[in-house]
Structure 1
Amino acid sequence: MKDKIFGTLQKMGRSFLLPIAVLPLAGLFLGIGSSLTTSGYIAEGSMLYKFLCVLGDCGDAVFSILPLLLCTAVALGLAKKNKEVAAISAVFAYFVMNMANASVVNNFMDVETLQQTPGLISDFLGFTNCMNTSVLGGVIMGYIVSVLHNRYYNIKLPELLSFFGGLNFIPIISTIAAILLGSFMTLIWPAVASGIAALGIAVAKMGYFGTFLYGFIYRLLIPTGLHHVFYLPFWQTAIGGSAMINGEMLYGCQNIMIEQLRMGLPISAEVGRFYSGEFAMMMFGLPGAALAMYHTAFAKNKKKVKGLLLSAALASFLTGITEPIEFSFLFVSPLLYFGVHSVLGGLCFMAAHMLACGVCNNFSAGALDFLLYGVILGEERTRWIYVVLIGIVAFAVYYFLFKFLILKFNFKTPGREDTEEAVRLHSKKEYLNKGKLEKSAVILEGLGGLTNIIDIDACATRLRVRLQDGSRVQQDLLKQSGSVGIVLKGNSIQVVYGPQVSNIRTDLEDYIMQIEEEKKEGELVNEA
């Protein structure tokens, strides 16, 4: 039961990545459009000004429909077959849920009383006085659609109603479920909204320690892949704070940040507390750890690990993709990860909050986001210089602390392994060449073979696979295929490859399809 819940949360977390993947582009449009049109540098009414307004509005549109995107993505990600049917059914269901919600509010409830609770009801997607269930409503609706889809996608109805059976039944049953959920939400959501607001107030009252806990827990969850589930409520609900801007009450640090960008306001410290410290950790701290691992590598191995650690450090600095570095020491020394890195990460968040930094991001805290949401917006709006100062300190602390602990306890970080073969296990360029097998063949063998695979998915850096039997996994083969880390829990496995994982997944799926086609051709020949 525990493994099943964990597996569902993992799949839900990676489902979030599909809509989240478009946020950097939307944020780029919104950031450039808003920052340049509110800076006073461009004449209002000019062609360039109008173009930038269009750019900003297009970016804002993505954030406005994020609950709908998440609803669709969850249904798509959790559906086992015919995913496109689940996705379109989720779209139907989401609109019907909000229509039912708004209709019940307008016909059966006291709207004026509900309006006394700030942010509880609003006009949303054309629905008047709809309860603002935000991303949680979208995720819940998407999950319900996926459950109904997986159970009824092949349902058989009496012959008279057979047209409505099978896949055609899914949007029908989803619509009925949406009416029930939307109506039920009117009963429970006021209490849920009050609870979320209270939790947000509690986090705010915890002050700097609350910010430390956020950063600490965030890093702790990275190996499990559940960090997306953790941070999204802070971004999109009152847990991440509330603010009155231009007469409108906004909830969630991301929503507040977007409005502050649009209005040309300084990015408040209460928003930046959930973002700014990550830049210091990713752009400075982890590269410092990479340098420490290079300097502590055995002399004969330094040349071999130099490229590995340099590419990992650059990925962390430029794009904020940290798994290649983190997984290079996570398994050889959990102390370095959970006892040092996670704590230092939390301290980076806390230090940035203490200095009222307001540098935000919409994907990850690399140099590209730092320029867009920090430097371009200006020091007076973001206090980005203080993030750099924190980062310099973080680089030094990471470097000297990692170097001391690696040498003190003889941790087997890259380049310090007992055998030459072990050095190759951590190299992205090396993979098993036994029998001239290609990389996909090695990965497939490492996963226990074709018959051991239930489904394959991927997030930004990890290949995520559900297996028939986790004990059949051969981790050495997966490491030799270029993996920098492996998380095996029950019959679910995450294999960390870095940003190129999307291509690896596609190659693996193509290879599996080729095997299946060759198998079918062989069966036809035998029958003939």
Structure 2
Amino acid sequence: MNSIFSSLQKIGRAFMLPIAVLPMAGILLGIGGAFTSGPLIETYNLTFLASGTLANQFLQMCFNAGLFVFANLPLLFAVGVAIGMANLNKETAALAAVLGFLLFHTVIGTLLGFQGITPDSVTVDALLAAGKSPAEAAGIASMYAHELGIFTLQTGVFGGISCGLLAAYITNTFSNKQLPDYLAFFSGNRLVPVMTMLYFIPLAFIFPLIWPTIFQAIVHAGEAFSSMGYIGSFLYGSVMRLLNIFGLHHAIYPLFWYTELGGVQEVGGQLIAGGQKIFFAQLADPSVTHFSSEATRTMTGGFLPMMFGLPAAAFAMYRCAEDKNKNKIKGILFSAALTSFLTGITEPIEFTFLFVAPALYAVHAVLEGLSYMLMHMLDVAVGITFSRGLIDFTFFGLLQGTAKTSYQWILILGPVYSVVYYFLFSFLIRRFNYSTPGRNEAENKLYTRKDVNEQKESGLTEAIVEQLGGIENIENIDACITRLRVTVKDASLVASDEVWRSLHAKGVIRSGNGVQIIYGTQAEIYKNQIIAHYGI
């Protein structure tokens, strides 16, 4: 179980790299799509944005710049996963991923040609002419696609992840190999491309044999999730919030956003798989009158708790604090609430009460699940790039209009969620005397930039490494938005939670040799300082 946790944690961390590209791409796509919309231009008489104008051409460029990212997600995942999973020589892993990805699909395309399968023979019309039923024709056609112009199997993001994992394995295994003198030129990093060619050709041979079965299983799993209806949306929202405790949500939600698990829909004459991909394909299609809430059911539900619920919870914690401490904790709670509202990054608030009052987090998870269910029931379809704050709500809700998104329900139910969170948190904190900030001698210091600079000068990063058992005990170190994610060789050498609190950590999560230290938005900075200082 511990090894599974560690592996999922590492995979989730690897997924974060390609996903980090999406917010900017989504914003470009959203702005370009919104302000080149014919109805918008006509309704508000925005003649300076009309077709053919310089402004329109610039927005079209923004639109296409964003669209190409979503069109090439498999390659981005191949490179991102390879970099994330490689222990050393990450740049070599990235090259291996690109080389392997191209080789993988080239070989598959060649094998399909040997079987007489061509782009023309697997169109829906061609399959119908061959006697297939409409359902069979659509199912068969959906298994094929083009990747960077190569006709191949529709392996999508799963294919990219597979290529990335294999590229990382090859890099980890061969990048430090020393060959005999007569082959010394190919030692080390230069051996990786050679082994990439040797490993990826067999992988490409195997995929046409196993992928149709795997593909159908994934499609059926997605159909099963869809058949669960509103209950499925509730379970997804609640479970993902609970997985967030362990940082494992990053390993799960991309499968719903970018693969058939999140559904398959026809958009603009093409079959699109994955909830987020469907949303952005519809965003790019001016003929779509209302975005699909089936596609966004794994995204939209987060707006109510993130924009309205958790800020109200922060206010409840402030009101429940002892009077003498209110001025001290006001800054940190306001900052955390604003972060949640604007960006949808919730961990600064959540980790102020997770460890001192787990029951509050359980209530939060249930309320989030209810939000996902309500948004699905009300046909609200506001997509996201990364999180559910005001920024994404503006670009993919407000700018797209109520006709396409039904975003008005978020504004209607948002204040209701604020009231529910405020009174529930206030009641539970007082009833059970939870040690939230400002109560029962709980830590109530607001860390400023000056404090962080003082910590750097006093050797905080060296202290972190020391309490992890020393640099020789660190096998791998990385960070997500708020957590240092470390794999250690001997978990018994890692310091106690009390020691970590003295080093200003908000919490620690352990499983086997995996350790996550919650440092808020400074986590990435500490990781970079440790890597630079120790030459990891």
Q: Distance in 1 between matches of 2:15 and 2:196?
A: 20
* Other-structure match for 1:385: 408
* Other-structure match for 1:441: 462
- Which of 447, 454, 467 aligns to 1:428? It is 447
Alignment TM-score, normalising by the size of structure 1: 0.91
Counterparts of residues 487-498 of structure 1 (less than 5 Å): 487-498=509-520
* Other-structure match for 1:520: none
Q: Distance in 2 between matches of 1:64 and 1:125?
A: 9
1:436 deviation in Å?
7.6
Q: Is 1:81 matched up with 2:92?
A: no
1:372 deviation in Å?
0.6
1:204 deviation in Å?
1.2
Between stretches 277-286 and 263-272, larger displacement belongs to 263-272
Between stretches 273-282 and 145-154, larger displacement belongs to 145-154
Change (3 A) 1:363 1:433: closer
1:427 deviation in Å?
4.4
Q: Percent identity?
A: 41
Q: Is 1:154 matched up with 2:154?
A: no
Q: Distance in 2 between matches of 1:28 and 1:132?
A: 27
CA contact (8 A) 2:6 2:512 kept: no
1:468 deviation in Å?
3.0
* Other-structure match for 2:133: none
Q: Deviations over 1:467-518 (max 9, x none)?
A: 23323333334323332222122222112222333223223334445xx9xx
Change (3 A) 1:496 1:124: same
* Other-structure match for 2:163: 141
Counterparts of residues 278-289 of structure 1 (less than 5 Å): 278-289=302-313
CA contact (8 A) 2:122 2:141 kept: no
Q: Distance in 2 between matches of 1:480 and 1:427?
A: 14
* Other-structure match for 2:258: 236
Q: Deviations over 1:234-280 (max 9, x none)?
A: 11112111211222111111111111111132212112212111111
1:431 deviation in Å?
8.0
Q: Deviations over 1:291-343 (max 9, x none)?
A: 11111122222222211111111111111111111111111122221x21111
Q: Is 1:358 matched up with 2:381?
A: yes
Q: Deviations over 1:425-482 (max 9, x none)?
A: x643568989982332343343333343333211122111222332333333432333
* Other-structure match for 1:519: none
1:388 deviation in Å?
1.7
Q: Is 1:27 matched up with 2:47?
A: no
* Other-structure match for 1:466: 487
* Other-structure match for 2:36: 37
How many residues are matched?
507
Q: Is 1:484 matched up with 2:483?
A: no
- Runs of 5+ consecutive residues of structure 2 not aligned to the other structure: 42-48, 125-136
* Other-structure match for 1:65: 72
Counterparts of residues 184-203 of structure 1 (less than 5 Å): 184-203=206-225
Q: Deviations over 1:192-216 (max 9, x none)?
A: 1111111111111111001111111
Counterparts of residues 172-191 of structure 1 (less than 5 Å): 172-191=194-213
- Runs of 5+ consecutive residues of structure 1 not aligned to the other structure: 517-528
CA contact (8 A) 1:428 1:481 kept: no
Q: Distance in 2 between matches of 1:303 and 1:493?
A: 33
Alignment TM-score, normalising by the size of structure 2: 0.90
Please tell me the residue identity of whatever aligns with 1:202: A
Q: CA RMSD in A?
A: 2.2
Helix, strand or coil at the partner of 1:263: coil
1:137 deviation in Å?
0.8
- Which of 50, 53, 56 aligns to 1:46? It is 53
Change (3 A) 1:484 1:380: same
* Other-structure match for 1:249: 271
Between stretches 460-469 and 224-233, larger displacement belongs to 460-469
1:118 deviation in Å?
3.6
Q: Distance in 1 between matches of 2:456 and 2:209?
A: 64
Q: Is 1:105 matched up with 2:112?
A: yes
Change (3 A) 1:109 1:155: farther
1:162 deviation in Å?
2.9
1:386 deviation in Å?
0.4
Q: Distance in 2 between matches of 1:109 and 1:464?
A: 48
Q: Distance in 1 between matches of 2:76 and 2:34?
A: 26
Between stretches 41-50 and 86-95, larger displacement belongs to 41-50
Please tell me the residue identity of whatever aligns with 1:448: G
